[in-house]
Amino acid sequence: MTTSSGLSLSVKPFPEEEAHPLWHITRKAKKNPVRRVLITSGIHGNEPGGVETVLAFIRALDAEPDRYPNIEFHILPLLNPWGWTRNLRFNSNGTDINRDFSSFESVKARAIRTLVGQMRFDLVVNLHEDPEATGFYMYQYARPDKVLCRQIIETVRQSGFPVEQEIRMLLLKTEEGLIDAPLWGLWYMRLTRQLSFDNYCRLELSINVFTLETPMQGPMDTRVAVQLKALHILIQALCDPLPGA
């Protein structure tokens, strides 16, 4: 199915989970040089803000077909449809699909790899929410600097939305809204078979990978507005010519 604005929807059934197909929305670029962008959400079925944001983004693309003419979009709005219908983080086997990108034991991790694993992207953005967070934060992976993320976090802060100060994980913690994952951390996650989809994207699909996180508390429209703003800044940064170019 293709809309007059150029958005194209395909529904990809996978034999083992036919009742819960993956939706793949694409939009071709209208201008050169073409940049390819992947946007995903809903790998955790209980994080509604990311999915709502991606749906709002798709509606905006449909309403403004001339925006981002250089960009070919690939959008997977719901990576865990089984979990989504039950408001559950995991899949029907209790697997966190987002930690299955070393072993690929779940149908959906394999299905996602089949869909996008052969492509390369100029930008990947994965949208999540965090039940324990009280503010916005984001991840970057093996990047040379923090300039772009700091710009986004500052924009969020200035909008009046709280920024997460401290979330501690196994190896990482937030620093004023940013988790800066080093390359060795990705390899560690792969070796210990905990590789996340985001880590996999950085190692296999793109050098520019970001994860956005909003807290699950507070009004949905505010969470969506914050994620949308961050998403647009990331895409715009890709469209702007490099300094000195």
**CA 159 remoteness from chain centre:** 22
Three-state DSSP class for residue 80: coil
Task: Please name the helix (run of DSSP H) or strand (run of DSSP E) that holds residue 154, with its range, or none.
Answer: helix 147-158
Nearer to Zn ion, 37 or 215 (CB): 215
What are phi and psi for residue 23, nearest 5 degrees?
-95, 130
- Tell me: does residue 27 bind Zn ion (CB under 5 A): no
Nearer to Zn ion, 68 or 141 (CB): 141
Report how far apart, in Å, the C-alpha atoms of 173 and of each of 113, 170, 176 are. Answer: 28, 8, 10
Question: Hey, which residues between 47 and 66 contact Zn ion (CB under 5 A)?
Answer: 47
Question: Hey, which residues between 114 and 133 contact Zn ion (CB under 5 A)?
Answer: 128
- Tell me: does residue 99 bind Zn ion (CB under 5 A): no
Binding-site size, Zn ion (CB under 5 A) = 3
- Tell me: does residue 108 bind Zn ion (CB under 5 A): no
- Spatial CA neighbour of 78 closest among 110, 117, 39, 105: 39
Determine the Cα–Cα distance for residues 72 and 36; give it in Å rounded to an integer: 5
How far apart are CB 133 and Zn ion at their closest, in Å? 11
How far apart are CB 44 and Zn ion at their closest, in Å? 4
Nearer to Zn ion, 20 or 128 (CB): 128
Which parts of this chain interact with Zn ion (CB under 5 A)?
Answer: 44, 47, 128
